[in-house]
């Protein structure tokens, strides 16, 4: 069997920097400050693009999407991976398919325009992400082939717009007995609340989530939220503590893993590389704390570049494994 197949959004990431992200305030959803949200209204998108032209500087155009980043990182490290999703029939779709070339097994359809993620980095290098879903909304049940997914050891799920969550629930239910499921809901799915995600959490082996997303999902402090998720059937929770390491729990066993403070060039995708490192360690049958430290080390490596330019290589992976000894 191959190693990991991802199912989630495929985006072209446009990464900008600004001295003052306050210009985004008129675009916040319903007046609420958030770190990530969807934009679909054409006039609002046009106004935002004009504001970006005036208030920011474009740093990079790169492939993106949470699951896509994770399987791309795994492929770059030498694992066999695949991706299921949809891009547009446009130049950006061509660009994304070329960007995903390290991933050997692609089941990517084409329809309408390619999804975009507009990523704005402030002076502290923290980021705000505005998503234009486009073709990601057009994924259908016909695009999700359970037999294809069953040729992998792990199915890694991340957020999709539109009917994507319903499609992923159905897919997970069909393959759960033969494929391990890992899940990174992100803020978009965490906003939907716990009840909506129960069908995925009940069959999930590894949940990757930030402390803030866990509180948003459960309505409790993140440590209390962990117990609620484990009671639903999730076996392992890896909490990404932004800038300060990770917390891992399986049943009653816990590991609080510190990470050194670094000056990041770009944190975009670092959580996805953490998941790739963790899953790579799991595929090597390393103990859970070792998987966590491996994910942290490789995520920090990825933050030394913009977009995917510093994602780890096979040599980086092996050096990180040796560093665990």
Contact indicator for 71, 103 with CB cutoff of 8 Å: yes
Residue 188 placed within a domain? yes
Give strand pairing partners of 108.
85
Domain tally, the chain? 1
In a domain, 233, yes or no: yes
Q: What is the pLDDT, as a whole number, of residue 35?
A: 80
Domain that holds residue 159: 2-11+64-115+133-322
Q: Show Cβ contacts of residue 191 under 8 Å, excluding neighbours closer than 6 positions.
A: 216
Tokens of 35: 């770190």
Residue 115's beta-bridge partner residues? 11
* CATH code of 241's domain: 3.40.1190.20
Rounded to an integer, what distance in angstroms lies between the CA atom of residue 144 and that of residue 129?
27
Residue 28 lies in a domain: no
Look at residue 212 in the predicted model and tell me its pLDDT.
93
21 in any annotated domain = no
Give the residue from 233, 265, 236 showing the smallest Cα distance to 253: 236
Query: 77: which DSSP letter?
Result: T
Phi, psi of 26, rounded to the nearest 5 degrees:
-65, -15
- Does residue 164 form part of some domain? yes
**Number of Cβ within a 10 Å radius of residue 163:** 13
Tokens 């159905």 belong to residue: 170
The verdict on residue 192 lying in a domain is: yes
What pLDDT is stored for residue 123 in this prediction?
87
Residue 128 lies in a domain: no
- Would 287 be classed as within a structural domain? yes
What are the per-10-residue average pLDDT scores of the chain (325 residues)?
97 95 86 76 92 95 97 98 98 96 95 95 85 95 96 98 96 97 95 96 98 95 95 97 91 94 87 98 97 97 93 96 88
């Amino acid at each position: 069997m191959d190693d990991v197949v991802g199912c989630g959004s495929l985006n072209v990431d446009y990464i900008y920097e600004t001295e003052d992200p306050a210009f985004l305030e008129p675009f916040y959803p319903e007046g609420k400050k958030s770190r990530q949200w969807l934009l679909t209204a054409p006039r609002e998108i046009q106004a935002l693009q004009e504001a970006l032209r005036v208030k920011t500087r474009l740093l990079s155009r790169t492939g993106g999407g949470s699951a896509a980043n994770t399987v791309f990182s795994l492929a770059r490290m030498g694992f066999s991976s695949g991706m299921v999703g949809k891009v547009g029939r446009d130049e950006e779709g061509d660009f994304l398919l070329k960007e995903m070339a390290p991933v050997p097994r692609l089941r990517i359809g084409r329809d309408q325009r390619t999804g975009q993620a507009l990523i704005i980095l402030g002076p502290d290098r923290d980021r705000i992400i505005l998503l234009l879903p486009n073709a990601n909304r057009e994924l259908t049940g016909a695009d999700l082939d359970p037999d294809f997914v069953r040729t992998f050891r792990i199915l890694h799920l991340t957020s999709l717009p539109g009917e994507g969550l319903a499609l992923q629930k159905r897919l997970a239910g069909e393959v759960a007995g033969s494929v391990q499921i890992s899940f990174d809901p992100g803020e978009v799915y965490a906003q939907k609340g716990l009840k909506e995600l129960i069908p995925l959490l009940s069959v999930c082996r590894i949940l990757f989530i930030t402390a803030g997303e866990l509180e948003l999902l459960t309505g409790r402090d993140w440590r209390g939220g962990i117990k609620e998720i484990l009671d639903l059937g999730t076996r392992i929770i890896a909490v990404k503590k932004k800038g300060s390491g990770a917390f891992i729990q399986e049943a009653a066993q816990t590991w609080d893993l510190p990470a050194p403070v670094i000056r990041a060039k770009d944190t975009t995708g670092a959580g996805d590389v953490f998941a790739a490192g963790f899953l790579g360690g799991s595929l090597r049958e390393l103990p859970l704390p070792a998987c966590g430290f491996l994910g942290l080390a490789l995520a920090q490596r990825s933050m030394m570049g913009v977009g995917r330019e510093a994602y780890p290589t096979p040599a980086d992976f092996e050096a990180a494994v040796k560093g665990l000894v």
